[in-house]
Amino acid sequence: MLARLYPLRGLPRQGQIWSWISFDVANQSFTLLINTLLFSIFFTQVVVTDPSMRNTWWNITYATSMLLTVILSPIFGAISDARALKKECLVISGLTCGILTCLFGFIQPNQLWLALLLYIPANLAYSIGENFLGSFLPELSPREAFGRVSGFSWGVAYLAALFILLLTAVVMMRWKLEDPTQWRPFFVAAGLWFIAFAIPTLLFLREKAAPPPPSAAQPNVVIVAFSRLAESIRNVGSFRDLSILLIASLFYGTGMSVVVFFASIIAQDFGFAGAKLVAFVAVITVSGVVGTLIPMLFQDRFGHKKTTLGLLGVWLFTTLALAFYAWMRTRVADPAAYPIWPMWLLGNLLGFGLGSLGSANRAFVGFLTPVSRTGEVFGLWGLVFKFSAVCTIPFGVAKDKLGTPAALLVLFAFIVIGLVITLFIDERRGRDAARLLDGESGSDNNLAPSSGPVLRPIAAPRSPAAP
């Protein structure tokens, strides 16, 4: 009975899939404790001493790392393609991020320069690692199982994040570590977690591509990288519905990035701090796990477009309700006495939407992508999501200058634009266009070699902490 419930039942290469999932588990410590939960508060309350610039500096810091990711990703992708180093790039990025994260424990109050020198390359390494992690999906899963494998991996990562959250809450309460100045040990632990769970990937994951002969001429990887990027843009531009989806992803991806990078900061505005904040995020993580089941169980049958529109509708309602709730709190004499129960409801809805929308979007892109061009399309998809993080700067500025309600309306506007653009996608037409090219290129399975340039994909921003 239990075997029938196993989502990966019947798929080949189970050991390879699980060694791939292990890296998904590994990077949860960084995306959760660093990007979403603890380091963002540590940065804005301990590192930055000017209250009027706290959110702006945090916004600029991670946006800079994302911009570097956009610029460097094609180069790293070209190097891995030319020399068959995809696995090596994945593992080295994880170990680099883990080591730099451990060094966060040395950052002292007002040491903004040190925080920038450590965080920007650490987040760059994490993001580059997401590139190569996502690029293994077409090797491990047939097209018809993209929703299952993507959703299952997402769900396992959420469960790992839930364990991290519960452990963090217990340690906070047991040793009274609720003040942000006391959180350095958590950063060290996050780095060690990343390193530990990257080891199974190092030992067992196998890359299908073979390295070129030693005598083979090696082209200039920078020229190759950006010529591939230009070619990929031209290729994807010939697929109308896939192009529309990528444009829509830029806008609602901006909303997802805001939630990931400002989650704990927004939650603190509503009265959550210390162990209470961690417990709140842990509850939301459970709703995120439930959210990942939607694309895994229903998307392939219900339809990718309908699933995406429904999830965006949940986001719109929740974001607008949060903006109204934040505005109402500003109109009372004592905001701390304002009822907090709506936050539990709205936060869980947003957590549900973040988990399901991230997984659903990855599967939707795969559904509209020709098998022969999976690598280059997922590369552009990743660049779109990383650039969406750069586009969150208006949110940070609005929060510092106009307050949380206005900033949430900025978030609402991004999601509205993404939803409207999604309406113009014809799912059946996009699928037929992909199948037509596959037929012309002779591709008959999801593991067919690419006939065009290949860019390594970057995973969409995600985090279980989504208040």
Q: Is residue 4 part of a domain?
A: no
pLDDT score recorded for residue 191: 98
Query: Alpha-carbon distance 313 to 322, whole Å?
Result: 14
Residue % of the chain over a pLDDT of 90: 36
Q: Is the pLDDT of residue 212 over 80?
A: no
pLDDT score recorded for residue 215: 56
* 207-211, 385-389, 401-405: least confident range: 207-211
For the segment 78-108, what is each residue's pLDDT rounded down to a tens digit? 777 677 788 999 999 999 999 999 999 999 9
Tell me the mean pLDDT in the region 142-160: 78
Per-residue CA distances from 333 to 181, 218, 329, 389 (Å)? 29, 68, 9, 35
Q: Is the pLDDT of residue 446 over 60?
A: no
| 146 vs 6: which has the higher pLDDT | 6
Q: Is the pLDDT of residue 177 over 70?
A: yes
- What the block records as the tokens of 196 is 């530990």
CATH of the domain at 93: 1.20.1250.20
The answer to pTM > 0.75 is yes
Tell me the mean pLDDT in the region 368-397: 81
Tell me the mean pLDDT in the region 318-343: 88
Q: Is the pLDDT of residue 447 over 60?
A: no
Burial class (CB in 10 A: 0-12, 13-18, 19+), 18: middle
Q: Is residue 452 part of a domain?
A: no
Instruction: Return the residue matching tokens 């452990």.
Output: 167
* 155-169, 177-191, 211-225: least confident range: 211-225
Q: Is the pLDDT of residue 442 over 60?
A: no
| 141 vs 25: which has the higher pLDDT | 25
Number of structural domains, the chain?
A: 1
| 154 vs 28: which has the higher pLDDT | 28
Q: Is residue 78 part of a domain?
A: yes
Residue % of the chain over a pLDDT of 70: 88
Query: Alpha-carbon distance 24 to 243, whole Å?
Result: 27
Mean pLDDT in the chain?
83
Q: Is the pLDDT of residue 260 over 70?
A: yes
| Confidence band, pLDDT 50/70/90 cuts, at residue 375 | low
pLDDT score recorded for residue 421: 96
Sign of the C-alpha dihedral computed for residues 448, 450, 456 and 459 taken in this order:
negative
| Confidence band, pLDDT 50/70/90 cuts, at residue 172 | very high
Query: Alpha-carbon distance 295 to 277, whole Å?
Result: 28
pLDDT score recorded for residue 147: 65
Burial 214-237 (b: 16+ CB within 10 A, else e): eeeeeeebeebbeebbeebeebbe
Half-sphere exposure of 135 (CA within 13 A, CB side): 36
> Which among 287, 296, 383, 436 is positioned nearest to 67, based on CA atoms?
383
Q: Is the pLDDT of residue 242 over 70?
A: yes
Q: Is the pLDDT of residue 444 over 60?
A: no
Burial 312-341 (b: 16+ CB within 10 A, else e): bebbbebbbbbbebbeebeeeeeeeebeee
Sign of the C-alpha dihedral computed for residues 148, 153, 156 and 158 taken in this order:
negative
How many other C-beta atoms can be found within 10 angstroms of the C-beta atom of residue 140? Answer: 23
SS3 178: coil
pLDDT score recorded for residue 233: 80
Cβ–Cβ under 8 Å, residues 156 and 407: no
Cβ–Cβ under 8 Å, residues 409 and 276: no
Q: Is residue 2 part of a domain?
A: no
Burial class (CB in 10 A: 0-12, 13-18, 19+), 133: buried
Helices (H), 136-220: 137-140, 146-175, 184-204
pLDDT score recorded for residue 171: 93
| Confidence band, pLDDT 50/70/90 cuts, at residue 299 | confident
Query: Alpha-carbon distance 352 to 283, whole Å?
Result: 11
48: domain range?
Answer: 12-207+219-441
Q: Is residue 274 part of a domain?
A: yes
* 145-149, 313-317, 411-415, 430-434: least confident range: 145-149
pLDDT score recorded for residue 105: 96
Tell me the mean pLDDT in the region 243-254: 92
| Confidence band, pLDDT 50/70/90 cuts, at residue 450 | very low
Tell me the mean pLDDT in the region 57-72: 91
Q: Is the pLDDT of residue 231 over 80?
A: no
Query: Alpha-carbon distance 36 to 32, whole Å?
Result: 5
Query: Alpha-carbon distance 45 to 34, whole Å?
Result: 14
Query: Alpha-carbon distance 286 to 181, whole Å?
Result: 28
Who contacts 203 (Cβ-Cβ below 8 Å, separation ≥6)?
A: 19
For the segment 320-329, what is each residue's pLDDT rounded down to a tens digit? 999 999 999 9
Who contacts 303 (Cβ-Cβ below 8 Å, separation ≥6)?
A: 427
Q: Is residue 3 part of a domain?
A: no
| 253 vs 260: which has the higher pLDDT | 253
Q: Is residue 245 part of a domain?
A: yes
DSSP letters, 42-90, are: HIIIII---GGGHHHHHHHHHHHHHHHHHHHHHHHHHHHHHHT-HHHHH
Q: Is residue 275 part of a domain?
A: yes
Cβ–Cβ under 8 Å, residues 332 and 286: no
- What the block records as the tokens of 147 is 């929703």
Query: Alpha-carbon distance 422 to 306, whole Å?
Result: 10
pLDDT score recorded for residue 95: 96
